[in-house]
Amino acid sequence: MYAVTAPEPGGPESLLLGPLDPPVPADGDLLVDVATTAVNRADVMQRRGMYPPPPGAGDVLGLELAGTVAEVQGDVGSWSVGDEVCAIVPAGGYGSQAVVAASTAMPLPPGTDLVTAAAVPEVFATAFDAVILQGGLAAGESVLLHGGSSGVGTAGIQLAKRAGATVVVTVGTEEKARACRDLGADLVINYRETPDFADAVRAGLGHGVDVVLDIIGGSYLAQNLAALRTGGRMVTIGLMGGATAELNLGVVLTKRLTLMGSTLRARPVEEKAALAQRLVEEVWPGFADGSLRPVIHSRYPLAEVAAAHAEMEASTHIGKILLLVDQD
């Protein structure tokens, strides 16, 4: 097989596409011929040497995939050779073959194919888990999504609107603002023009939000707390703005706030399997009725993975950047 690794930390040019021994599925695993994967911010961090894969996951980059089952090992439930699947994986998506725990594999979302389905697993799982399951966003509530035009942001907008919530997003350009409005965002804040987004939230809604999905971390902490209304919840899933900050516990106490952190990659297989089941049961119907759709910015052959990473780092994209594994 062939796959992409990052033998030495560095820029996009440090990515290496070459032959590797194929992965070996264990009992309960599927061996998948990968059709398409996608670039995620975590891949960039791993390439830079700042986000190592979990022990035993292997060095091949890639946290999600869509493809066809090539081999089954042991008890894999109803999966068979030839089935089309998509999945989140701890590593391995940037390879022509990858191992997927059968319990975490999902059928392609309705209306998608082996290309477009690869834009779904990581971002919809992340947004659904953080905003709906952990954040507890409910109909009639409001949510602030930072990076509204990102993969997680575009998924989060759609999931929140489907849940009956009011959606506020932050973006950096008017083009991204238009894209978020087209997806249903109710209030769009350009953080370059309005750096005090907490004031803009309260001015736009007349109150704070119930949930904040935070991808920035330390540098946004004070404003995120200010943007929350009493009883609000903040779920942090990224640290692009730093891992440390001074926390005003007085605000947390007086507003009765709940602060949470979340990652998917290192969770036990059992937890990922439970999340996959809920995605199929509760989120996949949205693809069938048209309330949800993958948002795809660009597609690259796997041989051009460096260019795909450069586009991710430039932050010019809206939605997902795909890598076509079997068409390079």
Would the pLDDT of 299 be above 90?
yes
Name the pTM for this structure: 0.96
Q: Burial level of 207, CB count in 10 A (0-12/13-18/19+)?
A: exposed
* Residue closest to 271 by CA, chosen among 139, 133, 155, 177: 133
* Residue closest to 283 by CA, chosen among 136, 107, 139: 107
**3-class DSSP state for residue 280?**
helix
- Using a pLDDT cut of 70, give the percent of the chain over it: 99
* Residue closest to 135 by CA, chosen among 216, 208, 237: 237
- Of the listed ranges 72-76, 191-195, 228-232, the one predicted with least confidence: 191-195
> For the segment 253-293, what is each residue's pLDDT rounded down to a tens digit?
999 999 999 999 989 999 999 999 999 999 999 999 999 99
Half-sphere exposure of residue 76, counting CA atoms within 13 Å on the CB side? 25
At 328 the pLDDT is 41
Q: Whole-number mean pLDDT of the chain?
A: 96
Would the pLDDT of 35 be above 60?
yes
Q: Are 307 and 298 in contact (CB under 8 A)?
A: no
At 327 the pLDDT is 54
> For the segment 118-141, what is each residue's pLDDT rounded down to a tens digit?
999 999 999 999 999 999 999 999
Half-sphere exposure of residue 129, counting CA atoms within 13 Å on the CB side? 23
Q: Which two tokens stand for residue 287?
A: 């693809």
58-76 average pLDDT score: 97
At 266 the pLDDT is 87
Domains of the chain: 2-120+265-327 (3.90.180.10), 124-261 (3.40.50.720)
